[in-house]
Structure formats: structure tokens, C-alpha cells
């Protein structure tokens, strides 16, 4: 099913990443199966950078598609048009109808594609054959000079065929609400799924916030300082914080919740277990 055709709101989705090597495939496949069993609206599969990661991305996405809707990520910054055609042909053969069109990280060797400059270029090419989604950063893309230019780039993605957006993770819901106001004021009216990252691994969270420009709020910093040296306590605090964040988002009419699982289905399951009597009635009523 195409994500754009799903009627239930708010949507629920999880993200998983493929193994970097073939020897790790079993663990990622098992995590995908467990997440799919929770019956999300879709399960997104990140795009492995070259080698086994790239091959395994399609294989994991195909596995997901057999039991639920798969959203395959596809990057273009270092890809030729012929390479993109080969990947999309493989995805289509696996029955996958949804792609998240991404520029991707800049290649370390500095060699960029001559066929694509922005994710919008990829979205334009895929639109029609696939339901295309795009990424967005509530706190602004770390490489973008101004917020206004960032919003224009997002608008360009939507005008190029993106039918929904998924945000980078954030820890202050007011940041998202202000971001949505800016988007809507510029005529960007597609569904925006809110990305949630459980703060269960202090080292990983600090690394990822540095990479993507997300701000650690005083509340999150306090939790990391207090519980960071106690893995069990940090895990429990992270699950509680994510659930609290989602409750507020749902109460304020979020289009969807997208959980960055880091291939930890047990954590995603605990979060959703805490929300069973909150999330389900909203979806069943179509509110």
C-alpha cells in the first residue's frame, strides 16, 4: 500500500537500519520481524552505504514488505541516474511502493553525482512510479545557512513530488510546533510524521545530536547526567521520556509518530505498550 493512501491518522511507523555486513544479517532481519509484528502502518529501512549495506537494504525492505508496508530509503548525492534506476527496479520487483528520497551524506572523497544535486531532484524522478516521502529538520538542516532557505528547500521537495515528510528527531515539542507553523505558512500542507529517538544510549545520543544538529534540552541533559552511568535506569528514563513526548504530540494533533528504533524492538514495544490506551482510540476514531 502507498503511504499517501493510508487513511488512519495519526500514523505509527518504525525505522530500522540494515546490517553493514552479511554476517550481521540475521540480527537485523529478526529485529525487522519483531517490529513488523507490532503492526505499524509502515516500517522504514535506511539505505546502507555501499557494499553489503546497500544490498542488504533492499533485502530487508523486501522482507518487511511481505508482512507490512515498507518504506525504502534511497540516497542520490553519490549516485548516477543509471544506479538509481537499477535500485528502483529491484525495489519495484520486491513489491515496494514507497521511497524516502534523500540527498544523503556527502561522500568522504568529495566526489558528488553529476546527475543529482538535491533530494528534490530524486523525488521528481521517482514521483509517479512510487509514493515519495522526504526528510526535514525541525531545528533546521545543519548545512543550511538560514531557516528561510531550509523551508524553501522543503517546499521544493514537496513541489517535486514528496507526498509526506518525516522529521529528524528532536527533544522539545515546541520546536516542532513552531516548525509546522512555518511550513503551513509557506503552503507546505503534506502530512509531517514526528521523529522520536529514545534516549537510552548516552554516547550514541550525543554523537547523533552533533551530526544532525538536534539540541539536547536541559531536561534531557539532566537525565543523561543522572542516569547515564546506569544502563537499566537510563533505558527506563529514555522510554518514559519518549512516551511523554509522544503523548503531548498526540494531544496536539500530530500527523504521525515515527520511532527511530536503532534496531531495538523491545524498546519500541515498551514505548507503545505505555501508550496502548492513548494511541489506539485516536486511530480507530480517525481523529
C-alpha cell read off for 86: 537499477
Q: Quote the distance between the C-alpha of residue 216 and its chain's center.
A: 19
d(CA 138, CA 178): 8
- Write down the pLDDT at residue 285: 59
d(CA 167, CA 225): 26
What are residue 119's phi and psi, to 5 degrees?
Answer: -60, -30
Q: State the average pLDDT over residues 261-276.
A: 94
Q: State the average pLDDT over residues 205-214.
A: 90
d(CA 23, CA 174): 42
Tell me the CATH number for domain 3-282: 3.20.20.220
pLDDT tier at 47 (50, 70, 90 boundaries)?
A: confident
User: Which residues, including other chains, have CB under 8 Å from residue 69's CB and lie 6 or more apart?
Assistant: 1, 3, 6, 41, 42, 43, 97, 98
Residue with cell 507546505: 188
Q: Quote the distance between the C-alpha of residue 89 and its chain's center.
A: 23
What are residue 211's phi and psi, to 5 degrees?
Answer: -70, -40
Known active-site residue 90: no
Digit-coded pLDDT (tens) for 178-196: 999 999 999 999 999 999 9
b/e map 248-282, b = 16+ CB within 10 Å? ebbeeebbbbbbbbbbbbebbbbbbebbeeebeeb
CB 276 within 8 A of CB 39: no
Digit-coded pLDDT (tens) for 83-132: 999 999 999 999 999 999 999 887 776 667 778 989 999 999 999 999 99
- Write down the pLDDT at residue 156: 97
| Cα separations in angstroms, 88 against 39, 60, 99 | 25, 15, 9
Using DSSP's 3-state secondary structure scheme, residue 130 falls into: strand
Q: State the average pLDDT over residues 137-151.
A: 93
- Write down the pLDDT at residue 283: 67
pLDDT tier at 213 (50, 70, 90 boundaries)?
A: confident
Q: Which residue has the higher pLDDT, 171 or 52?
A: 171
Omega of the bond prior to 10 within 30 degrees of 0, cis?
yes
CB 40 within 8 A of CB 258: no
Mean pLDDT over the full length of the chain: 91
d(CA 100, CA 82): 18
At residue 28, does pLDDT exceed 80? yes
What are residue 127's phi and psi, to 5 degrees?
Answer: -60, 135
- Write down the pLDDT at residue 20: 76
d(CA 262, CA 259): 9
At residue 54, does pLDDT exceed 90? no
Listed by start position, the domains of the chain span: 3-282
- Write down the pLDDT at residue 141: 92
Q: How much of the chain exceeds pLDDT 70, in percent?
A: 94
Q: State the average pLDDT over residues 128-142.
A: 95
Q: State the average pLDDT over residues 235-255.
A: 96
At residue 32, does pLDDT exceed 80? yes
Q: Which pTM does this prediction carry? A: 0.94
- Write down the pLDDT at residue 48: 63
At residue 53, does pLDDT exceed 80? no
- Write down the pLDDT at residue 52: 39
Amino acid at each position: 500500500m502507498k503511504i499517501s493512501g493510508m487513511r488512519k491518522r495519526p500514523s505509527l511507523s518504525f525505522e530500522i537500519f540494515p546490517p553493514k555486513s552479511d554476517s550481521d544479517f540475521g540480527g537485523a532481519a529478526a529485529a525487522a520481524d519483531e517490529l513488523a509484528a507490532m503492526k505499524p502502518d509502515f516500517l522504514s529501512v535506511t539505505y546502507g552505504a555501499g557494499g553489503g549495506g546497500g544490498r542488504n537494504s533492499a533485502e530487508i525492505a523486501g522482507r518487511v514488505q511481505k508482512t507490512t508496508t515498507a518504506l525504502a530509503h534511497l540516497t542520490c548525492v553519490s549516485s548516477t541516474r543509471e544506479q538509481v534506476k537499477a535500485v528502483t527496479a529491484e525495489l519495484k520487483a520486491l513489491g515496494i511502493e514507497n521511497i524516502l528520497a534523500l540527498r544523503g551524506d556527502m561522500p568522504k572523497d568529495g566526489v558528488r553525482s553529476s546527475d543529482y544535486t538535491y533530494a528534490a531532484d530524486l523525488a521528481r524522478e521517482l514521483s509517479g512510479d512510487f509514493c515519495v516521502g522526504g526528510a526535514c529538520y525541525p531545528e533546521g538542516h545543519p548545512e543550511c545557512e538560514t531557516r528561510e532557505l531550509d523551508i524553501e528547500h522543503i517546499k521544493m521537495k514537496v513541489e517535486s513530488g514528496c507526498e509526506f515528510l518525516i522529521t529528524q528527531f528532536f527533544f522539545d515539542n515546541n520546536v516542532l510546533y513552531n516548525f509546522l507553523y512555518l511550513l503551513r505558512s509557506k503552503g507546505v500542507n503534506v502530512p509531517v510524521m514526528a521523529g522520536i529517538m529514545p534516549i537510552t544510549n548516552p554516547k550514541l545520543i550525543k554523537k547523533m545530536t552533533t551530526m544532525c544538529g538536534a539540541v539536547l534540552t536541559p531536561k534531557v541533559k539532566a537525565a543523561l547526567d543522572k542516569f547515564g552511568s546506569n544502563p537499566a535506569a537510563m533505558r527506563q528514563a529514555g522510554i518514559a521520556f519518549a512516551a511523554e513526548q509522544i503523548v503531548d504530540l498526540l494531544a496536539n494533533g500530530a500527523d504521525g509518530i515515527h520511532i527511530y528504533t536503532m534496531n531495538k524492538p523491545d524498546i519500541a514495544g515498551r514505548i507503545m505498550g505505555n501508550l496502548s490506551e492513548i494511541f489506539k482510540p485516536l486511530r480507530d476514531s480517525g481523529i
